[in-house]
Amino acid sequence: MSESPNFQSEMRRLLRERVLDVARELVAAEGWSAVNMSRVAKDVGVSRPVLYKEIGNRQALGEALLERETDLFLAGVAKCLAAQPDDVVAGLADAVEYTLRESANNTLIKAILTGEGGTDPGLLPLLAVEPEPVLHRAISALSAAVRAQYDVADLDDEDLASAMEVVVRLALSHMMQPLGPIDHAVEQIRKIGGALLAR
């Protein structure tokens, strides 16, 4: 009997992952306008009431989808920082380069940015306008990772968060509206990050 809650939690986690996988495939193939709760429920093999209970409405589904994608990017960012244990600016530059190169090949991000699937603005506002699920999540995670890994004791939490916000906003801007090669964007952010973190 004591295993029941763990089993139920695992089943709910698996269901959530399957729902997000199906939604991601739909967005990448047909755009966000093709995603509706009935279609997702059918493709997953559950009823609409079960889907609504586990995920919420369509807006919540979009937020969950971008949260998961953001967390995958942040895992890669953490690896980039770890690979530069003694140089915070180099770590941030590597993280930005990773983010820009991965997003250029990411089918979900490309579908969001190109607006495939009609005139529905889709998930773009969640990526570009709303502070959640991407911006605040990325700033918080990056600030915590930099604080944990590097000697930035002379920066208080507010100053560190402000510096990381600039880096994240610049990376998102280059991701959404690239003006040139990725190397140029990385070098620009390297210089700005270095200036912001200069001690």
Q: Give dist(CA 156, CA 188) in Å, integer.
A: 24
For the chain, give the percent of residues with pLDDT over 70. Answer: 93
Q: How far is CA 66 from the centre of its chain?
A: 6
* pLDDT, position 123: 82
What is Dmax (Cα atoms) for the chain?
59
Q: Give dist(CA 181, CA 186) in Å, integer.
A: 9
HSE-up of residue 16 (Cα within 13 Å, Cβ side): 18
Domain containing residue 179? 4-197
130 dihedral zone (left: phi>0; alpha: psi -120 to 50; beta): beta
Question: Tell me, what DSSP letter sits at residue 34?
Answer: G
For the chain, give the percent of residues with pLDDT over 90. Answer: 69
For 23-66, how does the pLDDT look when each residue is reduced to its tens digit (9 = 90+)?
A: 999 998 888 888 999 999 999 999 999 999 999 999 999 999 99
Q: What average pLDDT score do residues 131-156 get?
A: 91
CATH number for the domain that contains residue 132: 1.10.357.10
The total number of structural domains in the chain stands at 1
